[in-house]
Structure 1
Amino acid sequence: MSTHCPRKKILNDLETAVAESLKGIILTNPNVVTLNFGQILLIRDYAHTKKVIIVSGGGAGHEPMYAGFVGNGMLSAAIHGEIYTSPPASEIFRLLQELSFHSSRGILLIIPNYSGERLHFALAVERAKNEAIPVKILIVDDDCYQGKPWKGRCGLSGIVLVQKIAGAMAEADLELTEIFPFCEKVVKKLHSISVVVQKPTPVRGKCVCIFEEQNVVIEFGASLNGEPGIKKELDSATEICRYLLDEITSPQVGNPIEFKEDESVVVLVNNLGTSTAIEELVFTKELLSQLYERKVKIDRVYKGKFVSSLDTAGFSVTFLKVFDKRVIEYLDAPCQVPAWGNLNNFTISPKLDRVICAKIKPSTAPVPQVGPKFTESGSNTVMMVLQFACDALYSCEKQLNTIDHETGDGDAGTRIRRGMEAIDVAIKTEKINLLYPYTMLAMLSKIIEKDLEGPLGMIYSVFLEAGSNVFRITPDTEPITPKLWSKALMEGASAVKRCLTTEAGCRTIYDPLYVCSTLLENGLDLVGISAMEAVGVSISAAEEAAQKTKMPYAKYPDPGAHSVAIWMRAVLEGLKCRWIED
C-alpha cells in the first residue's frame, strides 16, 4: 500500500522517495550508478578501482549527504536507509562483499554517531571480518555538546570534512593502515555546533519579513534527527554568532575548542536546509568577522548546504584544527563531487539512468562448519544450556516489558520472546548447527537480527557475531576449553562496547558483559579454583552489575542489562546439570 506524500512536499510516494532521489542524481551525473539492491550510489568504475574504498551512509533526509559526495576524490559509495533510519545491516554487509570482490585494498566506513547507524554498520563489519574482508569503521562525533555517556556526542557536519580528507588520501594511493589513523586524528580535532531557528509567525496583513516575535528563538545543540537543543532568545546574527563562539569555547560543553594564536582552523558553515541564501551570507560574514576579532587564524572557509535536516532553518558550524599541513593538502585536492562544488561539464542524457547488477549475490549457502568441533557430550551440553537460556528469557517476558516501559517502548520482553521462540524452533527442527561453535553462534546472530529486531536485537547480534569470530580463526585441532569461551565472551563484549561507544559503569547492557568477561578471564587463571567456580563467581558479579544499571531516578535497571543477567543465570544452571571438567 503506497504512502502518499503530504501536499506540501513535491514527492510521489514516501516509500519510494529515497530511491527516486538517487535516480534523480544518476540522471544528472554520468559518473555514478546504482546497484540492483538497496539504496546505494557508487562511482561508475567501482569494479575497476585499485585504491582503498571510502564508504559512508546512514538515514536519508540529510541531502546532499550521503549520495551527493560520491565521486572520484571523495566517496566511492554511499548507502542510505529510509528517512532518519539507518540502512539494514544485511544491505551494508552485501555492499561490503560487492566492493571487496573487486578490490583487496580495504574499505573505510565513515558514519555519524547515531545509535541506529552504529548498530547496523557494526553488525555488518563484524560479519565482514568473519569473511576476512579488510574493513575499518570510523564514527564521527563532532558535536561540541557532551552527549549521554552511553551514546556519546552526535554527528553533525564535520563528517563532510572527514570524507573529503579520506577520499583524497585514497586517491593519493595511500593504504588503509595510513588513512584510518590519520582520519581518527581528524575526528578528534573536529568541533561542531548547530544553530536551529524556530519558525516565527508572520504578522497578518504585513510584509512576510515582519514577525510577531522581536527576538529569534534559537536552539543550540539540536541534532540532525530532530532531538532538541538548548533554547535561547536572540535578536540578531551578531548576537547568535557571539553566543555560538562563547559556547563552543566554554569548558562546560564537553568538547570545547581552544583558539590559539599559533594554530589555524578550517571553518565550515553548513546550511541545515531552509535558511535563505541571504541569511547564509550574513551569518557567514558575522561569524568570520567575530573570529577575526578574536584573532583566530583561518586557513579555509567552506559554506553551503552539505548536511541538511528536513524542514530545518539554521546552520551548523564546524571547526577543524589544522594539526598537520596535509589536512589542507587533502582538502584542496581535486575531486569530481557536485555537492562539494566541483561540477562537471557534460551533456544531459536519459541514458544515464543505468542500474549495475552486483557480482555478489545474496548468500543462500549455510554458515560454513569451520574451527574446532564439539564432542558429542559438549554438543549436548550446549543444547541444554541454549534451551535453559531460551526458557528463562521466554518466561520473563512480562517482567522485561515492565522494566522497559519505564524508559522505553515497553516491548523488550515481547521482542526477546519472539527471538527465543525462533531459536527454539531452529533447535527442534535441527536448523541450527550444534557441532561447531562458530557455526552455531553465527546462525544465532542471524536469527536474533531477524526475529528479535530493534536496537536490543542488533546489540545481541553484534555480540554473537563477534564472539563467533574467535572460533572461526581457531585451528580445528584446538580443544574447546573454558578459556576459549572466555575469549569469545570478551570479544563479544568488546564489540558491544565499540558499537555503543560506551564504557563500563555507564549503566548499559555492556556493564554485565564487561564484568563477566573480565572476571572469567582472570578467574580461569587462578590456581585452586575450578572452571565451574570461576563461571559461577563471574555470573554472580554480572548480576550485581546489571542491578547497578538502575538510574538514580528509576525503579528498575536497564532492560538490556537485566536480560543479560537472566540468560547468564540460566546458562550457569544448565552447566551445573551437564558440566564436565576438562
Structure 2
Amino acid sequence: MHTKSFEVEDPITSSLKGFALANPSLTLTPSEKVLLREISKGKVALISGGGSGHEPAHAGYIGKGMLSAVVCGDIFASPSTKQILNAIKVVNEHSPNGVLLIVKNYTGDVLHFGLSAERARALGINVEVVVIGDDVAVGRAKGGMVGRRALAGTTLVHKITGAFAELYSEKYGLKGTADVARIINDNLVTIGASLDHCKVPGRKFESELTEKQMELGMGIHNEPGVKVLEPIPSTEDLILKNMLPALLDPTDKDRAFVDFSRDDEVVLLVNNLGGVSNFIISSIVSITTNFLKQHYDIIPQRVIAGTLMTAFNGNGFSITLLNATKATNSLKELFPEVQSVLDLLYTPTDAPGWPVAEFTNKAAPSIDKKLLEEDIKVKSAGDYDFAAFEKWVKAGAESIIKSEPHITSLDTQVGDGDCGYTLVAGVNGIVNNLDKISKSSLSEAIAEISDIIETSMGGTSGGLYSILLSGFSHGLIQTCKDSQEPVTSEVLAKALEIALETLYRYTNARKGSSTMIDALEPFVKEFSASKDFAKAVAAAEEGAKSTATFEAKFGRASYVGDSSSVEDPGAVGLSEFLKGILNTF
C-alpha cells in the first residue's frame, strides 16, 4: 500500500467544483454540496448521496435514466439533514411528481435522510425512502436487526430504478418507482476483499495488517473486514474458496440472502475499490466468470466492470451478483410493460460515471436560491401553555445534567463514554434556545426543538431524537384541527403513538434491544392506555432498568463481550429526563 498521497486544501468542495467543471450539464450548490441535473417534468426524481470518498459514486451517477441529484457529506460521513432537505426542495421545484431517496444502509445516512424525508413531507412534498443493503459478509447473526451494509450493488439500484423512473414513473408514480428499487435490492448480493486499508486525505495512513495478511468482507468506509486471511491466498483461491461461496452457497443460512439456480439470468458486477489496476480488474472478471460457469452453472447475462463504488484508493475489489430472473418476475407482476430487468439495465444513460454512458451536451439547470434560505415551517396545531412547557423542559434538562456522571459511567462500560455528554449537549441546546421557540402552537415548538436537537447533539442520538420529535410534531398536526385546539391527554397520547411509529421507520431497534426504545415504548404505551403521566414515567424507568437483564443488539454495546448486567445509558437518560418533568407536576 502506498502511504503517500497528494493533498489539497478543502478537498471535498474543490473536488465537487472540478466535477461540475468537467460535466457542465450539472449545477453545483457549494454551500450545500448538492449536484443536480435538469429533470423532465412529470418524472419521479431520484436523490442519493452520503459520505464523500466513494467516487465516482454518487455524483458520477447523475444523468438521464439515473439519479437526478446527489448530496455529499464529509469524508465517510453522512450529509446533514439541512443539506438533504434543501436538495429535496430544489429537485421538487423541477419535478413535483415525487422524490425518491435511495439511501445506503449506514446509521448516519438512514437517520439523516429519514429525518429529511419527514420534514419534507411536513412541507407537502411527496417523498419515499428506500434503504439499500447488499453485503453478505457480515451475515444475519452479526448484522442482526441492523441489516446488510450497502456496497457496490447500490449502483445497479441507481441504474435500473433510474431507467424505470425515466420511462414509466409518469404512470406508476413515486410508489411504483420505490417498489422497483426495493425489488432490485432484494435480489442483490455483494462481497468485498482488500489487501489493505485506504489512505484518507488529510489523515495518517493506519493499518494493522501485516505484509502477509489481507481482509475479507471489506466495506467502503475503511472499516475492518470480517475476517483476516493469512497467508494471502492467490486471487483465484480468494474468489473460488472465499468470495463466491459467501455469495452462492445455499446451505450457508447466515449469508444465503438470494437464491440462484442454473436457469436464472444473472448480472455480474466486478467493482474496483479504487487502488487496483484496470489490467487486474479485467483479469478478475475473466476468472470470476469462469468459476461461475464451472462450479455453479451460472453464465452471466451481462458483465459490468470498473471503478463504480470506491473507498478512495482501497487496494481491493468486490463482486456483485444480481438475480435478473427473480427481479424480472417480481417487476412483471406490478408493471406489465417491463419485460425484463435487463431492458432497464441496458437503457442508455448520460451519467458520466456509468461504464456504458451516452453523452449529450445539455444546459445546466438553474436554482432558485430562495429555496435554500427558507426556514422549515410546519402547520400550526395544538394550543399550549408555554410557561408550563418551559418549566417542564428545564426540569427535565436539570435532571439529565445531575444524572450525567451516572450515565457516563454506564456508557464507559458498554459504549464509548460520551452518552452523558451528548444528552447534556442536547438539553442545553433546547434550554438555551427556549426564547426562540414558537409560543403559538405546540406543533411548531416541537418541530423547532427537533431541529435544535439534531444540531446540538449530533450523531446517532441526535438523529433518533430529532426524528422522534419530528414525528411528534406531525402527530399533533394530524390529531389537532388547528392551533386553537388545546393539547389534551388524548391528543398527546395519539401524537406520541405517531411519533413512535415514525421513529420505527428508521431504526429496527425495538423493546428488548437494550436501547432508549426500552424506556420510550413502555412510556408511550402506558400513557396511551392510562393517560396517566406518572404511570407512564414509572413504565419508562422500569424499562430502562430491564436493559441490565439482556444483551444489547444495537450500537457499540452490541459489540462488547457482555452487556447484560449494565443498564443502557440511553434508556436511563430518557427515563431521567421524564422523571425530571414529573417532579414539577
- After TM superposition, the score normalised by the length of structure 1 is 0.85
- Structure 1 pair 355/165, CA: closer, same or farther in 2 (3 Å)? closer
Other-structure match for 1:264:
265
Other-structure match for 1:572:
582
Aligned-partner Cα distance in 2 for 1:177–1:355: 26
Aligned-partner Cα distance in 2 for 1:131–1:538: 35
Aligned-partner Cα distance in 1 for 2:244–2:318: 12
SS in 2 for 1:227: coil
Q: How far apart are residue 253 of structure 1 and its match?
A: 3.3
Other-structure match for 2:438:
433
Q: How far apart are residue 176 of structure 1 and its match?
A: 0.7
- Structure 1 pair 76/540, CA: closer, same or farther in 2 (3 Å)? same
- Structure 1 pair 562/536, CA: closer, same or farther in 2 (3 Å)? closer
SS in 1 for 2:116: helix
Q: How far apart are residue 514 of structure 1 and its match?
A: 2.6
Other-structure match for 2:147:
152
- Structure 1 pair 272/217, CA: closer, same or farther in 2 (3 Å)? same
Q: How far apart are residue 533 of structure 1 and its match?
A: 6.3
- Contact kept? 1:150, 1:506, Cα under 8 Å: no
Other-structure match for 1:209:
none
Other-structure match for 1:24:
18
1:182 correspondence with 2:186: no
Q: How far apart are residue 272 of structure 1 and its match?
A: 0.7
**Which residue of 295, 314, 317 maps to 2:297?**
295
Residue identity matched to 2:345: L
Other-structure match for 1:232:
229
Q: Counterparts of 1:67-82 in structure 2 under 5 Å?
A: 67-82=59-74
**Which residue of 460, 464, 488 maps to 1:481?**
488
**Which residue of 106, 113, 126 maps to 1:121?**
113
- Contact kept? 2:544, 2:568, Cα under 8 Å: no
SS in 1 for 2:63: coil
Instruction: Flag as ranges the 4+ runs of structure 1 deviating above 6 A.
Output: none
Q: Counterparts of 1:287-436 in structure 2 under 5 Å?
A: 287-293=288-294, 294-322=296-324, 323=326, 324=328, 325-344=339-358, 356-363=366-373, 367=377, 370-374=380-384, 376=385, 379-427=386-434, 430-436=435-441
Other-structure match for 1:164:
159
Q: How far apart are residue 485 of structure 1 and its match?
A: 2.0
Other-structure match for 1:10:
6
Residue identity matched to 1:32: L
- Contact kept? 1:194, 1:223, Cα under 8 Å: yes
SS in 2 for 1:339: coil
- Contact kept? 1:269, 1:315, Cα under 8 Å: yes
SS in 1 for 2:193: strand
Q: How far apart are residue 165 of structure 1 and its match?
A: 1.2
**Which residue of 467, 472, 487 maps to 1:467?**
472
User: Any stretches of 5+ residues in structure 1 without a counterpart?
Assistant: 1-5, 200-211, 525-529, 578-582
Q: How far apart are residue 286 of structure 1 and its match?
A: 1.3
Other-structure match for 2:27:
33
Range with bigger deviation, 418-427 or 136-145: 418-427
Q: Counterparts of 1:531-546 in structure 2 under 5 Å?
A: 531-532=532-533, 535-536=536-537, 538-546=539-547
Alignment length, in residue pairs? 538
Residue identity matched to 1:310: F
Q: Sequence identity of aligned pairs in percent?
A: 26
Q: How far apart are residue 102 of structure 1 and its match?
A: 2.7
Q: How far apart are residue 504 of structure 1 and its match?
A: 3.5
SS in 2 for 1:571: helix
Aligned-partner Cα distance in 2 for 1:467–1:88: 21
**Which residue of 547, 553, 575 maps to 2:562?**
553
Residue identity matched to 1:339: G
- Structure 1 pair 261/342, CA: closer, same or farther in 2 (3 Å)? closer
- After TM superposition, the score normalised by the length of structure 2 is 0.85
Residue identity matched to 1:109: L
- Contact kept? 1:52, 1:173, Cα under 8 Å: no
Aligned-partner Cα distance in 2 for 1:255–1:459: 31
**Which residue of 56, 59, 81 maps to 1:64?**
56
Residue identity matched to 1:316: S
Other-structure match for 1:286:
287
Other-structure match for 1:241:
239
Please list the CA deviations of residues 336-392 of structure 1 after superposition, one character each: whole Å capped at 9, or x if unmatched. Answer: 1121123455789xxx9x895444444465845611212x4xx44433322221111
Q: How far apart are residue 543 of structure 1 and its match?
A: 3.0
**Which residue of 172, 185, 192 maps to 2:190?**
192
Q: Counterparts of 1:437-516 in structure 2 under 5 Å?
A: 437-474=442-479, 475-476=481-482, 478-516=485-523
Q: How far apart are residue 450 of structure 1 and its match?
A: 1.8
- Contact kept? 1:98, 1:360, Cα under 8 Å: no
1:89 correspondence with 2:73: no
Q: How far apart are residue 419 of structure 1 and its match?
A: 2.3
Residue identity matched to 1:320: L
- Contact kept? 1:195, 1:219, Cα under 8 Å: yes
- Contact kept? 1:512, 1:545, Cα under 8 Å: no
Aligned-partner Cα distance in 2 for 1:409–1:537: 28
Q: How far apart are residue 539 of structure 1 and its match?
A: 2.9
Aligned-partner Cα distance in 1 for 2:439–2:502: 23
Aligned-partner Cα distance in 1 for 2:475–2:306: 46
User: Any stretches of 5+ residues in structure 2 without a counterpart?
Assistant: 198-209, 329-338, 553-560
Please list the CA deviations of residues 447-477 of structure 1 after superposition, one character each: whole Å capped at 9, or x if unmatched. Answer: 1112222221222111111111111233126
